[in-house]
Structure 1
């Protein structure tokens, strides 16, 4: 007998958010202050930070050490890796990704923000909007992060001046709006002193908006993946071959978007074969319906060929398959991405050979102009690419699904991640040029 779970999808109070900004803008200090002042730091953690701070000759605890966990980070005083922290208040639970600010580690910012529903972009009040600020705003726009907070930090070093804050907020908001960021909330703060992080600042009575924590607790979260077209990338085919279940054959994976129900007609892509769901197992128990982020095993009515890398979708909402992928990408490798580059494209659980056919444009961050047909993308460049794959892929538009509309390009020689791509995303693109010729051995 199956467990009836046909009621509405469960509400959630979880917010995933990421921090971003230039080196020394105070991201780790902000995160440390947020954890400390919201009483989310255990006593032994705080004692360890106090000891580490004292050993470095500091009079007060360096709250940045709560997130800078690697020895190399502490020695250099910069964040290198993405540090994930989990904390909660009475109003909401949070998963926080503290990302590096150094341009060399922009790739880590892409990783941290890829699943975020909100990004906090820090700006040093003394320096204003700089190139890395613009890059992080552009990445947040490309990743379709629905909420962006501009935290103008170190206001204590700028005399808590309202005009300083207003000028930076106006410049950043205009830039983000041109990128297509739907919402920007600007907050003046001092992470070191605690102004407007958890408690309102007594030094900036001219500001009447929320503190950082108040905004994080109250910003609406849509969790739109639950309402996207249903998608299940197959990770594993389960055939236990036991006496109790001699004919059991299930297709396991994590639901990337939407929900599936028993009896629903589904299509397996890229083959295009159709069948119906005869059963759904979650943690070994049968259910009638399963939804986004659940790890499930689907049982199908017909015995059809399904393997790792296939995508199971509702027949009525099946995406088209294609060998020609157009996308906006952020190149994250040190070696450039060039026209004619032979790569592996990983989409969901499927990896196929591919060729970079064209690079129509590269984005110039300062004025958002497009450099047409640059021929290559260097590390941290954002640009448009056209890719030809060796096999058809069922891809969604990134605007429809952040999970099944994204991919990465991999170097086939050593497995290095080269590029993060968003299918169909585009800043205005110049006219296309003729496809470049394929190289020998990769003629698709």
Structure 2
């Protein structure tokens, strides 16, 4: 089974999805099954897994071993324990962010889901919904992951009983109504046996929906991107010093949202100066239009004072310029909690600013959605709403409108560690 990546596939759409679930719900086996049945494995990978399974005396080839090679890294104390896997089919390319299921790894779940187009939540059919299932669903809705799939796994252990599946499906849908879940699909599977993972299951004729891979290949993600609000955070100002090009002045960065074309009028924030786009350049030559997530160099018709951390947008559709930031923060540091009046560094798009915590409004229990308004700090994995005051204005949008300009990370300046992640509300 060899992975064949043709040049034609390189143009295919990329789907990023994060897997989440409680411990032993079968995430590793599911990812192994996806890789195996979609023929996305190299022969030596498969031979190694077969050899280890035989050496352990397993009755079957343990597909979980395909991702468990990465577990050894986790045991070495790597901070953000998210394992990434890549595979492709003739329909689409995929990046899987495999996040650990333990309750103490909420921060890892946040890391994996923050860039995902789709969240795949696994539930053991024998146990039904557990606290972690609700926790992960809440985090995915908080992070505005546009698509969610609930996989009810281990259906083979409940004799493929439709009633068991329906009970879990109805319970989860009732919980999801309290959250903002734009698109929810529920699929009964057996990762171990392969039912409804890549191929439709003959053991569950009562289920009329698609297999998991078919859904992953067909789910519509093109309209999830914000193509309305032009946001181009400037990462680098390019001024070549060669004699041939001494007039060149370009602004390099990644298009966060919107579509930009030569001739478009743009405004530079925070200065408010306006100009028009003279050209959009790449290493492969000029472009007629740029959209997310392309990295490009923009040239303007006028010589303006633009530097790293500034942002190009439309004059009639600007990012908010504010020093007072309301945000939901997930705290990621085990040794020091977020404290009222605490001072931190903030990294937001290409800007670096300092900030002070003006107010901790409440700490949120992600299982019951209860708000503790007496809280004055956030400890490891806790989520709460805080008010920050920054030294320089942030050029931002609400996270629900724009994930790229609505998120930031919090850094402890004493040791340069990432201690929190925030989304602007």
Could you tell me the TM-score, scaled by structure 2's length? 0.91
Alignment of 1:385 onto 2:404? no
Task: Please name the residue that 1:420 is paired with.
Answer: 421
Count of aligned positions: 412
Question: How many Å separate the matches in 2 of 1:17 and 1:346?
Answer: 24
Q: What is the aligned partner in structure 2 of residue 361 from structure 1?
A: 362
Alignment of 1:154-303 (within 5 A): 154-283=154-283, 285-303=285-303
Q: In the alignment, is residue 370 of structure 1 matched against residue 362 of structure 2? A: no
Matched residues in 2 for 1:306 and 1:100: separation?
A: 42
Using structure 1 for the length normalisation, give the TM-score. 0.88
**Partner Cα separation in structure 2 for residue 33 and residue 177 of structure 1:** 31
Are 2:109 and 1:109 aligned? yes
Could you say what secondary structure the match of 1:152 adopts? strand
In the aligned structure 1, how far is the partner of 2:89 from the partner of 2:348?
Answer: 36
Aligned-pair CA distance for 1:187: 1.2
Deviation, 1:127, is 1.9
Separation in 2, partners of 1:376, 1:75: 29
Q: In 2, are the aligned partners of 1:346 and 1:409 still within 8 Å (CA)?
A: yes
8 A Cα contact 1:346 1:352, kept in partner: yes
Distance in 1 separating the partners of 2:310 and 2:358? 25
Write the distance in 2 (CA, Å) between the matches of 1:102 and 1:13.
32
The residue aligned with 1:4 is: none
- Who is 1:31 aligned against? 31
Range that drifts further, 62-71 or 261-270: 62-71
From the superposition, tell whether residues 236 and 361 of structure 1 become closer, same or farther in structure 2 (CA, over 3 Å). same
- Contact 1:228/1:401, CA 8 A, preserved across alignment: no
Query: Post-superposition shift, 1:202?
Result: 2.8
Question: Counterparts of 2:71 and 2:400 in 1: how far apart (Å)?
Answer: 39
Gaps of 5+ in 2: 1-10
Aligned match of 2:4: none
2:411 counterpart residue number: 410
Give CA deviations for 1:71-102 in whole Å, capped at 9, x if unaligned: 626989xx983222222223333222222112
Instruction: For structure 1, list consecutive stretches of 5 or more residues without a partner in the other structure.
Output: 1-10, 425-444
Distance 1:286 1:199 in 2: 44
For residues 390 and 160 of structure 1, the distance between their equivalents in structure 2, rounded to whole angstroms, comes to: 58
Residues 87-122 of structure 1: CA distance to partner in whole angstroms, max 9, x if unpaired? 222333322222211223222221221121111100
For the Cα contact (< 8 Å) 2:15–2:117, is it kept in 1?
Answer: yes
Which 4+ residue blocks in structure 1 deviate beyond 4 angstroms?
73-76
